[in-house]
Structure 1
Amino acid sequence: MSQRKQTLFILSLVLLWYSSNIGVLLLNKYLLSNYGFRFPIFLTMCHMSACAILSYVSIVFLKIVPLQTVKSRSQLAKIATLSTVFCGSVVGGNISLRYLPVSFNQAVGATTPFFTALFAYLMTFKREAWVTYATLVPVVAGVVIASEGEPGFHLYGFIMCISATAARAFKSVLQGILLSSEGERLNSMNLLLYMSPIAVLVLLPAALIMEPKVLEVLGNAKGAVAVVISILLFRNPVTFIGIAGYTMTVLGVAAYGEAKRRYR
């Protein structure tokens, strides 16, 4: 690959990264704050389900990176621990978006290096040069000043956001500790492949317990899932009109439930 093509390829990846990351952030903010979707845990579960599916397709079918296998129960337990911490980080971030402006949410998230340095010192006794620590002072001071001057400040949202930021840093340090040996180290896509299904298993009971109305959403989806699985298993013929009719029914039931929730 020529230098020009390589540069364009890297720029395309950066653009895709920026657009997808910012797009998910803004969509989550719209759903949780403007639209009135009150299920941040369920939203996180959907996010992790998509991560599981897309990472599997990327690795197994598209072969973007080679598949790495989990070699021991110990390694799987470490991945499960990371996945649980990661769940807490994403859920906390989604909850904070319901109460805080995106700009302030991102300002608080920028303090991740401070928490990373703190956890690295507490957990591994790793010390940096004093100049490195000094550069973190304006990072923290900036958030304190921004909090004071933020008209949309919400204490609960701030606590959730700072907790999510700390959890993200904790996961980063923990990952370096748990998967430090050469035989257990996974690249980012394979780590996501194994973390995502575990995250879904952690989040599903949490959503059912803490967000009971999720049962209504899952109930609406159950019929559609059953139809798809039955077609795949029994290979019974279906027509376009039949699919269109059933889709209309499912969407109608979902719209009815949403209308009852929003206009009661």
Structure 2
Amino acid sequence: MRQQEDRALLPTTTAAGGPDAAAASGPSGRLRTAGLVAAWYASNIGVLLLNKYLLSVYGFRYPVFLTACHMSASALLSSAFAAATSSSSPRRPLSRGQAARVAVLGAVFCGSVVAGNVSLRYLPVSFNQAVGATTPFFTALIAYAVAGRREARATYAALLPVVAGVVIATGGEPSFHLFGFIMCVGATAGRALKTVLQGILLSSEEEKLNSMDLLWYMAPVAVVLLVPATLMMEPDALGTAAALAREDPSFVWLLLGNSSLAYLVNLTNFLVTKHTSPLTLQVLGNAKGAVAVVVSILIFKNPVTVMGMLGYGVTIAGVVLYGEAKKRSK
């Protein structure tokens, strides 16, 4: 469950910066927006650090089971959110075509989240975030391969430092693990693929869904996929979780808190998107990754090098340039 982008588990499909963004210009509106941003940062960084702690430090090495817990909590909390807001915006049942598309998105989403959680077993959060920052590169690549969508030359040129930064960071990463790196790249590519497919499959006005509606439909699909995957790939996960719950009651609260935060990542991302502009969201997202890196280093004390931090800085600079180039090309 980024985890993470854009680091939210489900990037929004609605436009930001509407009437709600305008309403945020007053003192009370700015205070509300600041609170939402703080909650967005806290939930994103919190779920990332808790994933790392459970999978690596605590020793609960079951990333598929952990993702199933995340999606189960998202399914339950999405239903509660839907019930609380249904009076003002009732949801229409999905058509057969929509249901098939949501199922495809759910499968891609599950794969990317599981891969991301697996990578946290082997890589420090700081390096995980550096690799995850290359999402724009994979998004542009996949958009061209799948949809034939071309960007301006300046936009593609801005992607060079994005990749170069990760190459530099990889060479300077003292805790580099090849399998963890492959999983992290796979998770990043999976998030990009989901974003592209989401834009293609749910682009018509009749079928457009906002991120919370999409999560409400996708979470049960993800649970259906993840439960048998857990039984096949991690058959002793449930027994181990039960034993840990008996031996250490705090484990239950860690698991519940972690799973609830996974849902709050999506909810706060949706609300921040609703109350800010696209440019503000992009800037906040870039800063969020940097904050996560600093906090993770302070907590886990993983070794870092000047080359590693330089590489991450180059990647972030490339992401900023990419955003500016896309804005100019429109």
TM-score class, shorter: 0.7 to 0.9
| Secondary structure of 1:66's aligned partner | coil
Please report the TM-score for the alignment, with normalisation by the length of structure 2. Answer: 0.65
State the 1:17 CA deviation.
0.6
Aligned to 1:51: 74
Question: Structure 2: how far apart are the matches of 1:66 and 1:96?
Answer: 38
Aligned to 1:186: 209
Q: Which residue, 198, 206, 223 being the options, matches 2:221?
A: 198
1:214 aligns with 2:234: no
State the 1:95 CA deviation.
0.3
Aligned to 2:60: 37
State the 1:205 CA deviation.
0.3
State the 1:126 CA deviation.
1.0
Q: What is the 5 A alignment of 1:12-91?
A: 12-62=35-85, 66-91=89-114
State the 1:214 CA deviation.
2.4
| Secondary structure of 1:141's aligned partner | helix
1:98 aligns with 2:125: no
Q: What is the identity, as a one-letter code, of the residue corresponding to 1:159?
A: I
Q: Which residue, 168, 171, 186 being the options, matches 1:148?
A: 171
Q: Percent identity among equivalent residues? A: 62
Question: Structure 2: how far apart are the matches of 1:251 and 1:4?
Answer: 46
1:168 aligns with 2:188: no
Q: What is the identity, as a one-letter code, of the residue corresponding to 1:174?
A: L
| Secondary structure of 1:127's aligned partner | coil
TM-superposition CA deviations, 1:80-126 (whole Å, max 9, x none): 10011000110000000000000000000000000000011111111
Distance 1:103 1:251, change over 3 A: closer
| Secondary structure of 2:222's aligned partner | helix
Gapped runs of 5+ residues in structure 1?
222-249, 259-264
State the 1:66 CA deviation.
2.3
| Secondary structure of 2:73's aligned partner | helix
Aligned to 2:255: none
| Secondary structure of 2:176's aligned partner | coil
Question: Structure 2: how far apart are the matches of 1:50 and 1:36?
Answer: 22
Query: 65-74 or 10-19, which moves further after superposition?
Result: 65-74
Q: What is the identity, as a one-letter code, of the residue corresponding to 1:114?
A: F
1:117 aligns with 2:140: yes
State the 1:68 CA deviation.
2.4
| Secondary structure of 1:186's aligned partner | coil
Question: Structure 1: how far apart are the matches of 2:78 and 2:102?
Answer: 16
Question: Structure 1: how far apart are the matches of 2:71 and 2:238?
Answer: 18
Contact map agreement 1:28 1:97 (CA 8 A) in 2: yes
Gapped runs of 5+ residues in structure 2?
1-22, 252-330
Contact map agreement 1:67 1:190 (CA 8 A) in 2: no
Distance 1:251 1:173, change over 3 A: closer
Question: Structure 2: how far apart are the matches of 1:49 and 1:65?
Answer: 25
Q: What is the 5 A alignment of 1:232-247?
A: none
Number of residues paired by the alignment? 227
CA-atom RMSD in angstroms: 2.1
Question: Structure 2: how far apart are the matches of 1:21 and 1:190?
Answer: 20
Question: Structure 2: how far apart are the matches of 1:191 and 1:209?
Answer: 27
Q: What is the identity, as a one-letter code, of the residue corresponding to 2:196?
A: V
Contact map agreement 1:70 1:76 (CA 8 A) in 2: no
State the 1:255 CA deviation.
5.0
Please report the TM-score for the alignment, with normalisation by the length of structure 1. Answer: 0.81
Question: Structure 2: how far apart are the matches of 1:251 and 1:6?
Answer: 43
Distance 1:63 1:69, change over 3 A: closer
Q: RCO higher in 1 or 2 (8 Å CA, sep ≥ 6)?
A: 2
